Amino acid sequence: MTDTLLALDGLTKAYPGVIANDGVSFRIAPGEVHALLGENGAGKSTLVKMIYGLVKPDAGRMALRGAPYTPDRPSEARTNGVAMVFQHFSLFEALDVAENIALGMENPPRRRELAASIRQVSHDYGLPLDPARLVGELSAGERQRVEIIRCLLQNPRLLIMDEPTSVLTPQEVEILFATLRKLSSEGTAILYISHKLDEIRALCDAATVLRRGKVVGTCVPRETTAREMAELMVGTTLHTPERRHRENGETLLELRGVSLPAATPFGTNLHALSLKVQAGEVMGIGGVAGNGQDEFLSVLSGESLQEPGRVFVDGVDIGALPPQTRRSLGVLAAPEERLGHAAAPDMTLVENALLTGSVREKLAPHGLVNWAATRAFAARIIEAFDVRTPNADVAARALSGGNLQKFVIGREILQAPRVLVVNQPTWGVDAAAAATIRQALLDLAGQGAAVIVISQDLDELMEIADRFAALNAGRLTDPRATAGLSLDEIGLMMGGAHDMEVAHAAQ
Ligand SMILES: Nc1ncnc2c1ncn2[C@@H]1O[C@H](COP(=O)(O)OP(=O)(O)OP(=O)(O)O)[C@@H](O)[C@H]1O
């Protein structure tokens, strides 16, 4: 009949103060790997939510294999062969793999049959996974496999993936891509959202670019450079972050044998971490997710306390001080989980500005909130970090992921910290905004702060960090200068990736 699997025609969706999708039209062919590109807030998530039946379009039409397609809910999308893997996994840690997969199915088969099908799909697609393992014990990459296998068991014709590689090691990315290529060769189309343009060039056949809700261009990623795609997205020329030469100063932050028992059954114990970070230095902390990154941040932020003699800033023992006291000393932190940890989802941006800014920005003198000053602080963050939002009175949860990330990081940087620790500072952030955030971190160090960047993005760490150390099962390697460090050496420092040998053996 036609070689179009999904046709979108004039899809439009407005939210208060913003048209998230404005007359979006494009087509996806069977077996095509189609990238959806766009800066933060461009409307990518809104579009895929309409395709998956989570959001109803205000106007426009969709057709699947030539027939009108109007999914009212995700189960209807799934019945039509449309599956989706979300950025945030919706898995229960205390249940095993098979139980989690059964929960997401309309009519789950019996346990033994289900376990057999999981093994079969996992073998066929090179995604090793034991149905009986507890999800809480799995790495981020393995958890993603659970979600993917859950989708594959439904034989999808279209698989939507929202930022699938942000939690994966380079080796896990290769495995995922091999799976996606196999699916595509079998005729399954893939709609792929990512800010990682080199990956898009390696994987995708076609790309549609959104800007402020509208389609502004299409391209063949293999024939387009990453920079050209980024510039198509933002509509301007990009600047690469610049590192000004500077002399490192005195030791500002010192950890002496910090240990910490995990706070949850699936957390990581920290084992005797020692580290010195100097004024003016960016220290990069790499490692596969779940190796103690959150715990490490909590030791610095003051969410976990230490006995005397373990954590020093400027020679002052801060290990037992609570977060607010640390803030007054200029020790600030921006955790990874932006909704619920870094920001309160139902509070407005103004209220969220107050949450961590009150001490250093003196927003609540004598215990009374100065709302005018708080508003002005929120406005400064929005302006300086180009946070796209109708105004500062919207709830944090209404912002697109990348825009909230810009807000959270900007809020800490503008408080001129002396020691700043950030976890995944550019997670889900588009190329232009990532460059702004990285430049701001470099500038902060340039002004004499000690900056600790925890990230799974090795390119990011190589770009901005002076030294690099890896967290592996709650232990920290000795830091090494990033200049001249090869990817192989970094891989060794990270202690090898989870399950790689098994994964390769199954391919
Ligand atoms: N539930 C909602 N309520 C109000 N506004 C919303 C809602 N969902 C999205 N928006 C707005 O719609 C616009 C598009 O957001 P969307 O999440 O689709 O962007 P995106 O391209 O996926 O961004 P990112 O790359 O940052 O995830 C943004 O301005 C966002 O603030």
> Would you state the torsion angle of the CA atoms of residues 335, 336, 338, 340, taken in this order, to the nearest 10 degrees?
-70
Residue ID of nearest Cα to ligand 1 atom 29: 41
Domain identity same for 212 and 255? no
User: Would you call 149 helix, strand, or coil by DSSP?
Assistant: helix
ipTM: 0.97
Greatest alpha-carbon pair distance for the chain in Å reads 74
Domain identity same for 147 and 282? no
Burial tier of 224 (Cβ tally within 10 Å: 0-12, 13-18, 19+): middle
Alpha helices (H) in 97-209, listed in sequence order: 97-103, 111-124, 140-152, 170-185, 197-203
Ligand 1 atom at shortest distance from the alpha carbon of 39: 25
Q: What is the Cα–Cα distance from 496 to 137, expressed in whole angstroms?
A: 17
Q: What is the Cα–Cα distance from 348 to 390, expressed in whole angstroms?
A: 12
| CA geometry: angle 499, 504, 507, nearest 5 deg | 130
Ligand 1 atom at shortest distance from the alpha carbon of 402: 26
Residue ID of nearest Cα to ligand 1 atom 10: 398
DSSP state of 193: E
Q: Report the pLDDT value the prediction gives residue 501, as an integer from 0 to 100.
A: 34
Q: What is the Cα–Cα distance from 196 to 165, expressed in whole angstroms?
A: 8
Q: Report the pLDDT value the prediction gives residue 506, as an integer from 0 to 100.
A: 37
- Number of compact structural domains in the chain: 2
Residue 356 inside a domain? The answer is no
What's the 382 CA to ligand 1 centre distance in angstroms?
16
* Residue given tokens 């090179």 in the structure block: 126
Residue 358 inside a domain? The answer is no
Boundary of a domain, candidates 188, 205, 234: 234
Amino acid sitting at position 105: M
Residues 6 or more apart whose Cβ sits within 8 Å of residue 388: 40, 41, 399, 400, 403
Q: Number of helices (H) and strands (E), helices first, in the chain?
A: 17, 21
292 within 8 A of 471, measured Cβ to Cβ: yes
Pocket test for ligand 1, best of 400, 403, 407, 424 (most atoms within 8 A of CB): 400
What's the 10 CA to ligand 1 centre distance in angstroms?
18
DSSP state of 448: T
Domain identity same for 127 and 38? yes
Structure tokens, 224? 């387009």
Domain identity same for 269 and 212? no
Domain identity same for 230 and 116? yes
- Residue 86's closest CA among 322, 428, 432? 428
Residue 314 inside a domain? The answer is yes
What's the 15 CA to ligand 1 centre distance in angstroms?
9
DSSP state of 96: B
Residue 165 inside a domain? The answer is yes
Domain identity same for 312 and 255? yes
Alpha helices (H) in 414-486, listed in sequence order: 431-446, 458-464
Structure tokens, 27? 């087509």
Host domain of residue 37: 6-234
What's the 46 CA to ligand 1 centre distance in angstroms?
6
Residue 350 inside a domain? The answer is no
Q: Report the pLDDT value the prediction gives residue 432, as an integer from 0 to 100.
A: 83
Q: List all residues whose CB is within 6 A of at least one atom of ligand 1.
A: 15, 18, 20, 38, 40-46, 388, 398-403, 428
Q: What is the mean pLDDT of each run of 10 residues along the chain (507 residues)?
A: 86 93 97 93 94 97 97 94 85 92 86 94 90 88 89 94 80 88 96 89 94 93 87 72 70 96 84 95 88 93 94 96 94 88 93 94 92 97 94 93 92 97 90 89 95 89 93 91 81 54 35
Q: What is the Cα–Cα distance from 489 to 457, expressed in whole angstroms?
A: 15
Residue 108 inside a domain? The answer is yes
Boundary of a domain, candidates 234, 269, 296: 234
Residues 6 or more apart whose Cβ sits within 8 Å of residue 280: 246, 247, 248, 249, 445, 446, 448, 449, 450
Domain identity same for 100 and 49? yes
Structure tokens, 302? 């003051």
Pocket test for ligand 1, best of 45, 200, 339 (most atoms within 8 A of CB): 45
Ligand 1 atom at shortest distance from the alpha carbon of 405: 26
Residue 99 inside a domain? The answer is yes
Ligand 1 atom at shortest distance from the alpha carbon of 195: 25
Domain identity same for 276 and 222? no
Residue 470 inside a domain? The answer is yes
288 within 8 A of 456, measured Cβ to Cβ: yes
Domain identity same for 170 and 274? no
Ligand 1 atom at shortest distance from the alpha carbon of 18: 29
What's the 425 CA to ligand 1 centre distance in angstroms?
19
Residue ID of nearest Cα to ligand 1 atom 31: 399
Measured N-to-C along each axis, helices 371-384 and 401-413 cross at an angle, to the nearest 10 degrees, of 110
Say which CATH number the domain at 300 has: 3.40.50.300
- Residue 4's closest CA among 31, 35, 30, 37? 30
Residues 6 or more apart whose Cβ sits within 8 Å of residue 267: 294, 295
Residue ID of nearest Cα to ligand 1 atom 17: 400
What's the 266 CA to ligand 1 centre distance in angstroms?
32
What's the 195 CA to ligand 1 centre distance in angstroms?
15
Domain identity same for 474 and 338? yes
Domain identity same for 275 and 171? no
What's the 63 CA to ligand 1 centre distance in angstroms?
24
| CA geometry: angle 499, 294, 443, nearest 5 deg | 110
Pocket test for ligand 1, best of 11, 13, 15 (most atoms within 8 A of CB): 15
What's the 234 CA to ligand 1 centre distance in angstroms?
16
Domain identity same for 332 and 212? no
What's the 491 CA to ligand 1 centre distance in angstroms?
36
What's the 400 CA to ligand 1 centre distance in angstroms?
4
Alpha helices (H) in 358-449, listed in sequence order: 371-384, 401-413, 431-446
139 within 8 A of 499, measured Cβ to Cβ: yes
Boundary of a domain, candidates 234, 268, 299: 234
Ligand 1 atom at shortest distance from the alpha carbon of 46: 18
Q: What is the Cα–Cα distance from 310 to 307, expressed in whole angstroms?
A: 7
What's the 172 CA to ligand 1 centre distance in angstroms?
28
Q: Report the pLDDT value the prediction gives residue 457, as an integer from 0 to 100.
A: 80
Radius of gyration from C-alpha coordinates of the chain: 23
